[in-house]
Structure formats: C-alpha cells, structure tokens
Chain A
Amino acid sequence: MSQDKDRALKQAADLEEHPDAPSTTVSRRRFLQGLGFAAGVTAAGVIPALITAAPSAGNESEAAESGSGAPGGEENPLAEIIENDKPVNYPGKPVKYADPAGDQKWAMVIDVKACVGCRKCAYACVKENNIGRTSGFTYIQLLEMEPGEINLETANANYTEGGRADKWYLPVQCMHCAKPTCVYGCPVKATWREPDGIVVIDYDKCIACRNCMITCPYYARHFNWVEPEVPKNEINPKVPLEEKAAVVEKCTFCIQRTRHGQTTACTEACPVGARTFGDLNDPNSDVSIILKTRRAFRLKEELGSEPVIWYVG
C-alpha cells in the first residue's frame, strides 16, 4: 500500500513539472471576474439561435453587452457560451493530478452523421486513462439510435456491431457541463469545474458516496467497485491508477494531454473524424468555426446543465 502511495506521489510530482501555469491561472481568474459582471443566464436552446445568427431580442442585448469582453473581437456569437463557462467550486488550485488550467475554454463537437458506432474512441479512452480492464465501465458510451428519433429509452447501448445503415450512433461521455449537477451534488466538494471547463475529481477527497452518479443526467460517472487493474506494460504513467480504487471517475477531456497541446485520445482514435476538440476562446479553432457555421444541438438541453459537448448531424 505504501509502495502504491510512493508511486502516486512520484506520479503527481511528474505531473506538476510544468511551470508556466500559475501566472496564467491568475490572469484567467481576473479575466473571469471581469466577465462575471456581464454574465447573463443563457436560455436552454440558445445555440441553434446563435448559429443561425437570429438571436431572440433578449439574447441579443446580452450578447451585445458581453461581446466586448469576449476574445476574438466584436461579434463573437459564442460569447455568451464562453461567458457562462465558469469554474464551479474551484478550490483555487488545480487538481493534484493535473497541470494548472490555461486560458482555454475546452469544447467538443461530435458529428453524428459521420459516426459509425465502431467504439474505437471508447477503446482508446480505456487505454489512455488507465480504466480498470475488469471494472466494467468505459468513460464513453455509444447509443445505437433508431432512425428518426433521439429517444434514449429505445436506444441500445449494448449493440454488438456498429455501422448498421438502418441505425445511427450517439457517443455520450462526461459533457463537462457549465452548470454541472454532479459538482453541485457532491457533499464534500471533491469534484469541481476548473477555469478551462474541465470537470475534475479529487481522488484523495472523494468519500465514495456516489451522489454525483445520482445527480449526473448523462450517466457519465462510474464507481470503482473493484480495484482498477491494468496490465503492467499498458499503464499510462501520466494518469493515476491506484488512487482510483473506491472512488468515482469519469472522462477528464484527457487533461494529461489537452493541457499539453495534444488533443483527446478519442478524437485521435476516431477513424472517420467525427470528433473535434478545441478551444472556444480561440475564434479560429475548429470547434468555434463549426459551432458558428453549423446547426448543433446538445443532449438533454432542456435540463439546463449547459454541456460543452455539442452534436452536429
């Protein structure tokens, strides 16, 4: 056990060897405080309106007000989303296992027209994130949908073979909600949303109550009912492993990669390029461009959790 702890500490030390961060964190926070004044409540369903550049009267005034503060110039239609994208329960210092957050606002867009349901993303994620091979869960789930509807209750998550022409596929994972019900529901603040929008879990603080699994509307969180086991030669040294025993875990937007300029493992693994990952603060990033030019929707938008994973079709 103490051996494990030593390894964990070493891992953590390795992860902390990125000195550029503290200053950016602070400036980021000041930036956010400034934005806080202009913050408005985004109505659910505002995205299609923004994308078709026909915001309703109420949204228009808010967008105009906040547009000045948003990076990327005068009329960034994503300004309101970026503005709502705030840290929640952030303790002021980043999670132990990861580097400090940068200036980015991470987001992902998944093209359901392209997705063939091959689950390559899910498998790549298991490898990248040291998910226990016998733990019985993956961060990413794929739902096989009947044509003509988005009906979760008739979808099938246990299909054996993807790529059926008479179905379509919806990949689901932690949406890194801007209003994360999991974070609101954690009794001990063991999970929070960082300034760059990544919802993280402090494995050393989690009391194993599973309340966040109850409150998450996307079934994105998973508990380690068994010790996570990964074959020695497949362990990713950048991701904690032993610490995940008897706590909850979930997608981290590959925090160990994305904070070093890499993209997520799922985005990299997708053979049809259905996934796009990037920075909303950068108006020229792929995600910003897609969200500005295509019609997108979010899953269970009506709940108002404001996820930062969008779907286009």
Chain B
Amino acid sequence: MTETTAHKPGVKRFIGIDWDLGALRSASPRFWLWVAFLGTFVVVGVAAWGAFITQGGVVMAQRDGSPWGLWFTNYMYYVGLAAGGLVVYASVHLFGAEQYRPLSRIAVLQAGVFTMLALLGVVSDFEQPIRLLNMVISPNPTAPFVYTGTAAGLYMVLCFVDLWIMLTGTGGEKLAFTMTLIALPAAIYLHTTTAFVLALNKSRELWHSAVMVPIFLTSATASGIAVLFIFAYIFMRVTNVRFKPSMFRSLATLLATVIIIDLFLLSVEVLWTFWPTSAIPGETSRLIEFVAGRYAPFFLPIFVLGFTAFGLLANRKLRHLPAIQITASILYIIAIFLKRYSLMAMGFSLTPLGQPTKIYFPSLVETGIALGILAFGILFVTICVKIMPLEVPKEELEAHHGHGHASLDEAEVAA
C-alpha cells in the first residue's frame, strides 16, 4: 500500500492487500525451523482428532460426570483472549485513544484468530460433526449454545473483514469507525452469550449466577490485553516496527485496572457463597472443593497469580519496565486459563445429584487436539506477521493529531 512496500520485489497484490511473499523466500532458517516446529504440532493435532473420530469418545477423559472438557475451557479462554484485542482496537476509534493506534492491526488479527481457534475446538470435540448442520436446519431458540455459536462465527468473520478494511484502507476512517460500532457490541454479545451457556443453568449451582456475565467480560478483557502485550513485544522483535514505551505504560495501567475488577468480582462470588446468611449447601459443598478440596491447586493460584500481576503493574516505579509488563501478563494469562478450567469444573465437581465425580484431567488425545489447534493459530499468525502489512503506516499515524502526534515520534519504522 505504501510506496516502500509496493516496490519491494516479491510483493503480490491480492484482494487489495500487498502480500509480501518475497519475505517468505528470504526468510531465515530459524523462521522455517519455527514453522516446522508448529507444523509438527498441527500434524499431531490432526492425528489426535483422527483417533477420536475413529475410536470415539472413549479416548477422551470426559465422562458423564464431566461431560465437557478441555475444548470448552479453551472455548471460554480463546473467546476471552479475542476480546482484549478488540477492546484496544475499539478504544482507538471510539474513544480516541490514539496511543494504541499502532497496535490496531495486530489487535484485530488477534481477535479473529482466537475466535477461529475457539470454534475449531468446538467442532473438533463433537463426535457427530456433520450433524452440526442441524444447528442451521432446526436451531432451538431457547438454547444459549445456539447464540454463542453463531455469535462466534459472525464475530470471526467480522474481525477478518475489519482487518481487511484496515489493511486496504477501504472507506477510510469513517468506515473504520462504523466497523467499531458494530464490532464492540458484537464482542459484548459474544461474551454475554458465552457466559450464558453457564449462567442460564439452574441445574448447576455454581454456574447459576448473573455475575457470571461481568466476570466473563473482565476476565476476557484482562487476559486479552495481556496477550496483546506479549504479542506486541514479539512483533517488535521479529519486525522492524517500534512501539513507544508510553503506549505500553498506558496499556499496563489499563491491564492493572481490569485485573483488579476481575479479582474483585470473583472474590465477591466466593464470599457470597460462604456467608452464613446466604450459604446454600448445594453451593458451599461444591465451592469448598475449590477452596480447600481437590480443585484447590487449580483455583487458589488464580488469586496468587492475579494479585501478584496486579501488584507488579500497580507499582509506579516498576510498571514501565518491559520485563515487569511481560511477567505480569504471563502470570495473568495463566491465571485466566486456570480460572476458565475452574469455572468449568465448578459445574462438574459434584453431579446434579450431589455425587462427587472423578476429577477431570484432559486425556492425551484431548491435549493433542488442543495443542494442534493452538499451534495452528500461532502458525497462522506467524505467517500473517511475515507477509501482511500489519504495521500501521506513518501516513495514518500522522493523520491523527492529539495523542497520536506524540506517539508518532517514536513509532519509527526502520526500513
């Protein structure tokens, strides 16, 4: 699109985007080694899925007591990670948070890819994948699953369309603004419906809580921003793009704020469950498993990791250091994974008839499928970063004044 890229050899224009295929040809052996490494996992994942389809559900660790497993943990997790990207991107266009503009393209890419992974997880787990068509033929309007499924599908398409609009500059700032107006409510809708898959069940005590929806939103935003943090640092390493430290500092403040709201909501739920005037045996006997029982090793670290991450970022003296930002981000990314797993397990630790179930731990096949899907996602992004013009061009940054002007000085592109 810009002069520099258009004249580089090996650049092919397709659907209005300049694909830098030459970059693949001149890529270093290290790059190909990395691609091969990810490719191996993709192959493992496909093989694991093949084993599942041929041998059936018996190869999974899921059973009647835990009818959903790693795929569902990952569904919640990935959908959440998608959101963080979108929040950052949307704040540029909606709230004029120009300091994040350099991130807007990779943020939307992140949103689209994670939603894709979430959907792949769902499809890979159903033993009757072809019958998923029934979802289109006879959808049931009272089933939350229908809403979250379609929301994820539409959202993924929306993200990729949005990315295309940004990369091609179609419609200019006006269309970008309109897209945000669509994408942000869509993101909220996706999270609400995902939370509803849990919250709308009177059959599962600990899920049956309206707070589930805000918790989903905060966890999603926090973990998504944390991933974007890491993505941005890696992006700087592998490309010549430089982001301004002040952008990271401002992102760190945002992350710290969301983390503490997230932890607050979770703490309220725990307190509410155990307080003598509100405690109900069906709920306490389930949550006790997470506070002091078999699931405590998964649940309690959420608070330890969460408060540590918050502490690191809340500290004015530390939060501008890249190492601190990265550490806090990694801590919270792990914390949210544990939280997704715990949330799922809260529905399953005891059956609806109060009987303890076997603790769920993914089988080799389930792990293989999940790793394959994740590797596919990283591979997808790796290639995108290599061949897509993901850096926001100078002209676009220059065109925006205010905050944008300040960030322009340091967002230098060394071509």
* A→B interface (CB under 8 Å): 89, 136-137, 141, 143, 151-158, 172, 181, 184-190, 205-211, 213-219, 222-227, 245-247, 303
Q: Which of A141, A186, A215 contacts B201 (CB 8 A)?
A: A215
B399 within 8 A of A: no
Interface of A is mostly: loop
**What's the count of A-B pairs with C-beta under 8 Å?**
128
Q: Per a CB cutoff under 8 Å, which of B62, B64, B146, B353 touches A222?
A: B64
Q: A184 and B353 in contact (CB under 8 A), knowing A207-B128, A208-B126, A227-B56?
A: no
Complex: chain A residue closest to B285, CB-CB: A153
Interface residue from B60, B131, B355 paired with A207 (Cβ < 8 Å): B131
CA distance A96 to B40 in the complex (A): 45
Residues of A within 8 A of B308 (CB): none
Q: Which of A152, A225, A227 contacts B354 (CB 8 A)?
A: A152
Residues of B within 8 A of A (CB): 56-58, 60, 62-64, 67-68, 126-128, 131-132, 134-135, 137-140, 142-146, 149, 201-204, 281-282, 285, 347, 350-355
Q: Report the separation of the CA atoms of residues A153 and B57 in the bound assembly, to the nearest whole angstrom.
A: 28
Answer whether A225 and B63 are a contact pair too, CB < 8 Å, given A214-B203, A303-B202. Answer: yes
Chain A residues with CB below 8 A from B347, complex form: 214
- The 8 Å CB contact of B56, one of A153, A181, A207, A246, is A246
The chain B residue with its CB closest to the CB of A172 is: B353
- Asked, given contacts A207-B126, A213-B67, whether A155 binds B354 with beta carbons under 8 Å apart, the answer is yes
How far does the alpha carbon of A227 sit from the alpha carbon of B57 in the complex, in Å?
Answer: 9
The answer on a CB contact under 8 Å between B64 and A213 is yes
User: A126 to chain B: closest CB distance in Å?
Assistant: 15
Can you list 27 A-B pairs with a CB-CB distance of less than 8 A? A136-B64, A152-B354, A156-B355, A158-B355, A184-B140, A185-B142, A186-B140, A187-B140, A187-B145, A187-B146, A189-B138, A205-B134, A210-B67, A214-B67, A215-B201, A215-B203, A217-B202, A217-B203, A217-B352, A219-B64, A223-B67, A225-B56, A226-B58, A245-B56, A246-B56, A246-B127, A247-B128
Most chain A C-beta atoms within 10 Å of own C-beta, residue among B58, B146, B353: B353
Of A187, A189, A226, most B-chain CB atoms within 10 Å: A187
- Interchain CB contact under 8 A, B60 and A246: no
Does A154 contact B203, Cβ atoms closer than 8 Å?
no
Interface on chain B toward A: helix, strand, loop, or mixed SS? loop
Give A219 to B67 CA distance when docked, in angstroms.
Answer: 11
Is A209 a contact partner of B126 (Cβ separation < 8 A)?
Answer: yes
Closest to B142 in A: A184
Nearest Cβ distance between residue A181 and chain B, in whole angstroms?
6
Q: How far is the CA of A152 from the CA of B58 in the complex (A)?
A: 28
What is the CB-to-nearest-CB distance from A275 to chain B, in angstroms, rounded to a whole number? 19
Contacts of B131 in A (CB 8 A): 188, 205-208
Residue in B closest to A182 when the chains form the complex, CB atoms: B203
Q: Which residue from A153, A154, A185, A303 sits with its C-beta under 8 Å from B143?
A: A185
Q: Give the contacting residue for A225; candidates B58, B128, B139, B149; CB below 8 A.
A: B58
Complex Cα distance, B128 from A208, in Å, reads 6
CA distance A172 to B353 in the complex (A): 9
Nearest 6 A/B pairs, CB to CB: A152-B354, A188-B134, A217-B203, A210-B67, A153-B354, A225-B57
A155-B354, A184-B142, A225-B60 given; 4 more Cβ-contact pairs under 8 Å:
A153-B285, A207-B131, A225-B57, A247-B128
Q: How far is the CA of A153 from the CA of B142 in the complex (A)?
A: 29
Instruction: State whether A216 touches B352 (Cβ < 8 A).
Output: yes
B68: chain A residues within 8 A (beta carbon): 210, 214
Given contacts A154-B354, A210-B67, contact A187 B135 (CB under 8 A): yes
In the complex, what residues of A have CB within 8 A of residue B355's CB?
152, 155-158, 219
Complex formed: what's the CA distance from A215 to B199 in Å?
Answer: 11
Q: Does the CB pair A226–B56 fall under 8 Å?
A: yes
Check if A211 sits within 8 Å of B128, measured CB to CB: no
Q: Measured between C-beta atoms, what is the minimum distance from B123 to chain A in Å? A: 11
Query: Which residues of chain B are within 8 angstroms of A143 by Cβ–Cβ distance?
Result: 353
Chain A residues near B285 (CB, 8 Å)?
Answer: 153
Asked if A151 and B202 sit within 8 Å, CB to CB, the answer is no
B60 touches A153 (CB 8 A): no
Q: How far, in angstroms, from A158 to B358 measured CA to CA in the complex?
A: 13
B143:A218 contact, CB within 8 angstroms: no
Nearest chain A CB to B208's CB is how many angstroms away?
10
Which residues from A are CB-within-8-Å of B350?
A: 153
| Whole-angstrom CA separation of A170 from B59 in the bound complex | 33
Residues of chain B lying within 8 A (CB to CB) of residue A208: 57, 126-128, 131
B51 → A minimal CB distance (Å)? 14
Output the nearest chain B residue to A299 by Cβ-Cβ distance.
B353
In the complex the two chains form, is B354's CB within 8 Å of A216's CB? no
**Residues of chain A within 8 A of B126, CB atoms compared:** 207-209
Tell me, in angstroms, the Cα distance from A64 to B197 when the chains sit together: 39
Determine the distance from Cα of A217 to Cα of B350 in the docked complex, in whole angstroms.
12
